[in-house]
Amino acid sequence: MRRVPVAWLQLTHEKRRFAAAVAGVTFAVALMLMQLGLRAVLYRAATRIPEHLAGDLVMISPRYEYLYALTSFSERRLYSALAVRGVTSVAPIHLEMGLWRHPSTRQAHRIFVIGVPTGTNVFDLPDLRRRLPALRVPDTVLFDAGSRPEFGPVADLLAHGPELVTELNDRAVRVAGLFDLGATFGAGGHVVTSDVTFGRLFRRPVGMIDIGVISLARGSDAGAVQRALRAVLPNDVAVMTRSEFAAQEAAYWSRRAAIGFIFDLGAAMGLLVGAVIVYQILYTDVTDHLDEYATLKAIGYHDRYLYSIVLQESLVLSALGLIPGFAIAETLYLMFRHQAHVPVEMTTVRVAFVIALTIAMCVGAGMMAMRRLRDADPAEIF
């Protein structure tokens, strides 16, 4: 019990130094939580469309990179899949970035347009399924209620008026309803329209699609059907399961896109900065009290006891820095959710991970500072 007060007194002897150490740990904790939280949102948002596909298998071009830079392929390849046993239906999806005009300010913003057949449920979103028949009317779209604010108060305008008409790619379109998908780092908003209206909005060759959704009979082995499709289809298309498609999309953002690297680097920098600050504080503290440590050695205390004091100081700093760090991060999370419409939330796994990193950071810095205790030789100091 006497060891804890010694470590505490050592830390609090210099109030400014102690405050700087706690602030450094707090900064590291808040930065790691922010970077890891935004990275999680990035990966979750990147797989939002793939995970909501209603089919079992997905057909794409072999030159596919990520969802917002697709390479089209012939629609005939998709319908050829119907000849394989176990395939019950197929549905083409058209994807393209369009220019959405704000209903009030008339400013144009890039929005992701999804063209789907009106007779097939391509996505498993309940609101979209319910309102899909409305898209049979030409020049009609459904608007993503989770889009960012720059696209306009579409939900409010629909709630207070019989209809909402705006422009998409300089063509008048009517908003027939809402669905909830949410913004991503690749697209600030989404609209869904019929494949017919999509063809009117974008000039592209007839019969070219971006994604093919393949539904299988109940009880079918998706892996076996996937292998059968790969055997009969030429190599100008690729077939993968929905989970593989989502994993490939997440892998692009985590490994190839710069933004994934930036989030990882930000978390690493927070860890490094915190470790350097804690090391400098503890090293300076040991140096300033080197005579006292030598005195303890002279009266019979072992090195283990001296090391334990520095280790306890490290644990105290980690504990005191975690509390305000979590409070700051939660406040920033709240701001991101309400101001930037980024659904970042604190999770138990992330909290446990950051706690472990913070303790490891402080203990590691303390172990490095312990090397200074080797100089606490009573014979040399006195």
pLDDT 10s digits, 220-236 = 999 999 999 999 999 99
pLDDT of residue 100: 96
Phi-psi region of 8 (alpha: psi -120 to 50; beta: other; left: phi over 0): alpha
Q: pTM of the prediction?
A: 0.76
Q: Say yes or no to pLDDT of 145 above 80.
A: yes
Q: What pLDDT is recorded for position 337?
A: 81
Distance separating alpha carbons of residues 220 and 214, to the nearest angstrom: 12
- Report the pLDDT value the prediction gives residue 84, as an integer from 0 to 100: 94
pLDDT value of position 159? 85
CB burial string 107-126: b at 16+ within 10 A, e below:
eebebbbbbbbbeebbbebe
pLDDT band for position 1 (cuts 50, 70, 90): very low
Please compute the mean of the pLDDT values over residues 328-352 and round it to a whole number.
Answer: 86
Let me know if 165 is exposed, middle or buried by CB neighbors in 10 A (0-12, 13-18, 19+): exposed
Contact 355, 322 (CB under 8 A): yes
Residue 241's pLDDT is 93
Q: How high is the mean pLDDT of the chain?
A: 87
CA-nearest of 313, 304, 316 to 10 is 313
User: Do residues 148 and 80 make contact, with C-beta atoms less than 8 angstroms apart?
Assistant: no
Nearest Cα residue to 100 out of 173, 204, 2:
173
pLDDT at 198: 94
Give the count of beta carbons closer than 10 Å to the beta carbon of residue 212.
22
Work out the angle between the directed axes of helices 303-339 and 290-298 (0-180°, nearest 10): 140
Determine contact, residues 314/282, Cβ cutoff 8 Å. yes
The pLDDT value given to residue 303: 74
Does the pLDDT at position 262 exceed 70?
A: yes
Q: What pLDDT score does 379 carry?
A: 55
Where does the pLDDT of residue 380 fall: very low under 50, low under 70, confident under 90, or very high at 90 and above?
Answer: low
Structure tokens at 43: 């990966």
Chain segment 90-141, per-residue pLDDT in tens: 999 999 999 999 998 999 999 999 999 998 889 988 889 899 999 999 999 9
Alpha helices in 233-302 (DSSP H): 242-251, 258-288, 290-298
Q: Quick one: CA dihedral 362, 363, 367, 373, positive or negative?
A: positive
Name the band, by pLDDT with cuts 50, 70 and 90, for residue 166: very high
Section 132-153 average pLDDT: 92
